[in-house]
Structure 1
């Protein structure tokens, strides 16, 4: 059963958040959540749809997009808007940043507490209240460098 794949903690968190938001925990939402937990990282909606489609052949890509948007609103995942690329989804809710390979498009997590704790320039503080910081570093990963 798919619920057995989830830890009790994850399942209870999902049930509680859905209940608080007044949304039904459907079979499709549960399958998408299971897929996110089973394969953490930075998947696209298309990638998740492709994997889920094997189990649920009638699931529409629109259902996956809407479910991922709902999970983002509930705080279960974060939506990444990688520059000039498709939207990716991040299951890692810890404070972190991303290194994005410009060749293979792989996204790696970066933990950088010095950056997180630096004092922001006055020009930014004068713009308004900063609620979060996210840094994207674009470059070529070692794997791609080794291939050249």
Structure 2
């Protein structure tokens, strides 16, 4: 996204364009790993060594409130963020903490049960699948059947 287009996006969202916001937004737009605020801070510090972690946290919170980034639920103790605000879902590994995007048909707002519409006014919908990724499964020691455990 060009700087001019980003200035217009910020203005439309009620944000003043600053270099720090630009760098945080660009870091989020380029990220595919659903980074934490601390990871974004480390990446942005390469170009803006004086930026504080608090500024990155506040900037991400401001972006989230305006729909410019989303927070990924289930990403562990530290908050994880996604610069892709198009409708999609997430796979979260409980071992390594990796988060991957996935899409599926029939899982949007139009596909929610009527009970959700009766609940109120949903803003978005996201499926979160938590488990163990293939990479971590390959590293795990195979589980012995109960019959083998008793013999040893």
With structure 2 as the length reference, what TM-score do the two structures score?
0.79
SS in 1 for 2:23: helix
Unaligned runs of 5+ in 2: 141-152
**Considering only CA atoms, is the larger Rg found in Structure 1 or Structure 2?**
2
1:91 equivalent in structure 2: 83
2:12: which partner in 1? 20
In the alignment, the residues of structure 1 paired with residue 100 and residue 32 of structure 2 have an alpha-carbon distance, to the nearest angstrom, of 12
SS in 2 for 1:114: coil
The match for 2:39 is: 47
For the residue of structure 1 that corresponds to 2:135, the secondary structure is helix
Match of 1:59 among 51, 56, 79: 51
Partners of 1:117 and 1:127 in 2: CA distance: 13
Taking structure 1 as the reference length, what is the TM-score of the superposition? Answer: 0.81
Gaps of 5+ in 1: 1-6
Query: Does the 8 Å contact 1:17/1:74 carry over to 2?
Result: no
How far off its partner does 1:78 sit? 1.2
Distance in 1 (CA, whole Å) between partners of 2:75 and 2:47 is: 32
2 CA distance for matches of 1:81 and 1:123? 22
What RMSD over aligned residues (CA atoms) do the two structures have, in Å?
A: 2.1
Q: Which residue of 2 aligns with 1:31?
A: 23
Aligned partners of 2:12 and 2:107: how far apart in 1?
A: 34
Cα separation, 2, equivalents of 1:18 and 1:118: 29
Question: How is 1:1-148 mapped onto 2 (pairs within 5 angstroms)?
Answer: 7-8=1-2, 11-82=3-74, 84-116=76-108, 119-148=111-140
Shift of 1:71: 1.7
Query: Is the contact between residue 109 and residue 124 of structure 2 (CA under 8 Å) also seen in structure 1?
Result: no
Rate the CA distance shift 1:22–1:121 in 2: closer, same or farther, 3 A.
closer
